[in-house]
Amino acid sequence: MSNKLDHEKLTALVLGELDADNQTHISEEVESDSELRTLAKELREAANLTREVYASEPDLQLDTAQREQVMREATAQPPVSKPRRVSSKESRAGWRWWALRLVPATALVALLVVLILPLLVRPLESARRGSPADLANELALSARMAETDATEERYHAGNVRAEAEQWAMQAVEQMKARGYSASVNGGPRTPSLQDVKVGGEIRVKGNFYGQDINGLPPTGQASYFAKPDGTASPYDDPARNYWPGHNTEAYANIVENPFKRVTDEALSTFSIDVDTASYSNVRRFLEQGMLPPPDAVRIEELVNYFDYDYAPPEDRSKPFTAHVTVAGCPWNADHRLVRIGLKGWEMVKSERPASNLVFLIDVSGSMQPENKLPLVRRALRLLVRQLDERDRVAMVVYAGNSGLVLPSTPGNERKKIFRAIDHLDAGGSTNGGQGIQLAYRVAVENFLDGGVNRVILATDGDFNVGITNEGDLTRLIEEKAKSGVFLTVLGFGLGNLKDATMEKLADKGNGNYAYIDTLNEARKVLVEQMSGTLVTIAKDVKIQIEFNPARVGAYRLIGYENRVLAAQDFNDDTKDAGEIGAGHTVTALYEIVPAGAPVEAPSVDPLRYQQATGLSDAATSGELMTLKLRYKAPDGDTSKLLTFPVRDAGLGWEQADPDFKFAAAVASFGMLLRNSAHKGSATFDTVRTWAEAGLGDDPSGYRAEFLDLVGKSKTLTGK
């Protein structure tokens, strides 16, 4: 096979470069000749290996600033003015300086190996190129993170510490050699600094902090145990959910609400939730070309991200209205879908009560990246522009030390406030605990009667110095909430986001939580919804449904898994629940199996000593269920009760209103992303169809964006 022409043709065949005719013709020729077959096979192998070699090159990306500039240019209306180019060198100077500052921290060497690698790589791509986890693994190995067979004596003698330091520095060199900037990060920034004792020895773990060549934030993290034989294995901490390939983003495990038989449990009780952070978070994942980890998908937060057109209360004697609609369930033709919609009264901006705001801003080193502190600054400026002389603003920063950088200042002294915002700089480690104490104190000292008193916490959620115990921290927040000062938590950044911690903090502090990934999101949360984000119109809002067994066989609350309450908590005014803000809508969906239809829920054996008592007269009323609501005034201690009987008018899916369809589509989307057992016949295609039917006017464009995300998910899953 030395004929040059044949080689070219054969190569073209192997590379799929032939037109259809030649393709058939030549492949037939190859098939019939064993020598040609072997040759084609070898060429194919060579081509594949060559692709692998190219794919395993260190990844190169544009700087975030460069990419943003391109996107700004792409969205600019013509005629286009030429923006100043951000040089890649310029935009990275900040990070380099910061990395240098971190190096001395090496001395504090840690006991846990944490390799942080950029995980911005899309999973599909990374599958081709060798995943970041593989790279981490490789680095761990190549850095010879060999276990020093450390005994406790050696550890205390200090040898181990020195060795750990040494190979942590080696790891840094390895990272650098591969084009990553890297530094050793001493203990303070480690989320769970600990001695790991295995048998009689302490496994020494170095703590390693890397940054990709673009100065992008570290978005992935891998921890490795170094073993005595010189190999490293992934550090498996059951308390954390690594995703994908060992990310530090921590999400609490969500176990979806199962179907429950009405004969077993006729009451369903939960607290409302107006949080929407999960949606922005899911969007962030999808826009980066990754599927979100299932536990990052909180269906009720996806559904509640969107506004629905429920009629608000006519007057302020009632803080909100409740709307219940029952229609066909799109993903299971035998089931019914119940939508409960609450709408808080809408406040005209000028009627907004005065606000006493204390910003509590995390300025720890991890806040350095552009999508964190710089975005916080821009978001704060947006909010401050909404304030006037009736309002007061203070700013507390926390890192290694906490401090008041802006004493409580009237809202019209913008220059002073902006100057303080401009001077926020990242550096140091986080002590959320002290900062929170100080922020609450300032808020209480400037308490406005009848006004909005709120601490606004801006962080990436990495509380890891001082009060690191989550329980202590939430107790502190809970305690502070009693002072009448509420908490808003704004989550920033990616890769280090302790989603569950932040949500819990907001929860316990009678507040809300939003994830802010873009300036647009900041605008939505802080400006468009300002009256909602900041003004609570009812608190401890609980919902209890009593299902009528004559009409309902089983039911399932969609989402709200971490909001489910015990039946007796409904009437217990000491039990905390969600708040509803001015203009907020809250939507909850139940999937219902009509009485007589087959139920998927497991059944228990009939009781031997008891028998089911009969139905009450009301059971024959034809009512489907009764909706009960409890809420307190924002400053009240005693709850009020509202009760609404609900009938099923037999509405089909097609007849349901657009909002109903859209909410159902979003819930179904969430179930698909969670790969829920209850997703029924839904696919991303049906979700799209349903959402399109429910698109409505969509003045904000948020619903159209949802369709985009559905498309992305379909591509990513290939389903």
CB contact set of 169 (below 8 Å; sequence gap of 6+): 106, 184
Using CB under 8 A as the binding rule, whether residue 73 contacts another protein is answered as yes
Among 33, 57, 422, 685, binds another protein (CB under 8 A): 57
Tallying the residues shown for the chain, one arrives at 719
Identify which of residues 55 and 354 has a Cβ nearer to another protein in the complex.
Answer: 55
One of 33, 37, 58, 233 touching another protein (CB under 8 A): 58
Looking at beta carbons only, is 120 or 629 nearer to another protein? Answer: 120
55 binds another protein (CB under 8 A): yes
Q: Of 24, 31, 33, 70, which lies in the binding site for another protein, with binding defined by CB under 8 A?
A: 70
3-state DSSP assignment of residue 579:
strand
DSSP symbol at 423: T
CB of 542 to another protein, least distance (A): 41
Does residue 87 bind another protein (CB under 8 A)?
yes
Residue of the chain from 26, 36, 63, 516 that contacts another protein (CB under 8 A): 63
* Contacts of another protein in 192-231 (CB under 8 A): 213
30-52 as b/e: b if 16+ CB within 10 A? beeeeebeebbeebeeeeeeeee
Distance CA 526, CA 534 (A): 8
Considering the complex, what minimum distance in angstroms separates the CB of residue 523 from another protein? 17
Instruction: Please check whether residue 235 is in contact with residue 112, taking contact to mean a CB–CB distance below 8 angstroms.
Output: yes
d(CA 624, CA 637): 32
Q: Radius of gyration of the chain from Cα atoms? A: 29
C-alpha closest to that of 194 among 184, 205, 183, 208: 205
Which residues fall within 8 angstroms of residue 540, CB to CB, at 6 or more apart? 271, 573, 575, 576, 577, 578, 579, 630, 631, 632, 639
Smallest gap from residue 4 Cβ to another protein (A): 8
Residue 88 interacts with another protein (CB under 8 A)?
A: yes
| CA 148 – CA 126 distance, rounded (Å) | 32
Contact set for another protein, span 360-399 (CB under 8 A)? none
Residues 6+ apart with CB under 8 A from 277: 301, 491, 499, 502, 503, 513, 514, 515
CA separation for the pair 111, 120 (Å, rounded): 27
Question: Measured from the CB atom, is 130 or 645 closer to another protein?
Answer: 130
Total residues contacting another protein by CB under 8 A comes to: 54
52 counts as binding another protein under rule CB under 8 A: yes
CB 373 within 8 A of CB 410: no
**Quick check: 564 binds another protein (CB under 8 A)?**
no
Q: Taking the CA atoms of 278, 310, 630 and 270 in sequence, report the sign of the dihedral they define.
A: negative
Site for another protein in 241-280 (CB under 8 A): none
Site residues for another protein, 121-140, by CB under 8 A, read 122, 125, 138
Rounded to a whole number of angstroms, the minimum distance from the CB of residue 14 to another protein is 8
Q: Per rule CB under 8 A, is residue 43 in the interface with another protein?
A: yes
Q: Establish if 3 lies at the interface with another protein (CB under 8 A).
A: no
45 binds another protein (CB under 8 A): yes
Minimum distance, C-beta of residue 224 to another protein, in the bound complex (Å): 17
Near another protein by CB under 8 A: residue from 26, 30, 59, 117: 59
CA distance 321 to 346: 11
Closer by beta carbon to another protein, 551 or else 712: 712
User: Nearer to another protein by C-beta: 69 or 151?
Assistant: 69
Output 120 or 664, the one with its CB closest to another protein. Answer: 120
For residue 449, CA distances in Å to 279, 354, 386, 483 come to 34, 9, 20, 12
Query: Which residue in the set 3, 21, 34, 80 belongs to the binding site for another protein (CB under 8 A)?
Result: 80
φ, ψ for residue 262, nearest 5 deg: -65, -30
Q: How far is the CB of 213 from another protein (least distance, A)?
A: 7
Q: Within 280-309, which residues bind another protein (CB under 8 A)?
A: 289
- Alpha-carbon torsion angle 211, 212, 218, 222, nearest 10: -90
23 makes contact with another protein (CB under 8 A) = no
442's tokens = 């300032």
- The answer to the question of residue 56 lying near another protein (CB under 8 A) is yes
Question: Which of 31, 47, 162, 401 is the binder for another protein (CB under 8 A)?
Answer: 47
The pattern of x and - marking residues 141 through 180 that bind another protein according to CB under 8 A reads -x----------------------------------xxx-
Amino acid at 667: A
Residue 245 beta carbon to another protein: minimum distance, rounded to whole angstroms: 18
Footprint of another protein on this chain (CB under 8 A)?
4, 7-8, 10-12, 14-15, 17, 39, 42-43, 45-47, 49-63, 66-67, 69-71, 73-77, 80, 85, 87-89, 122, 125, 138, 142, 177-179, 213, 289
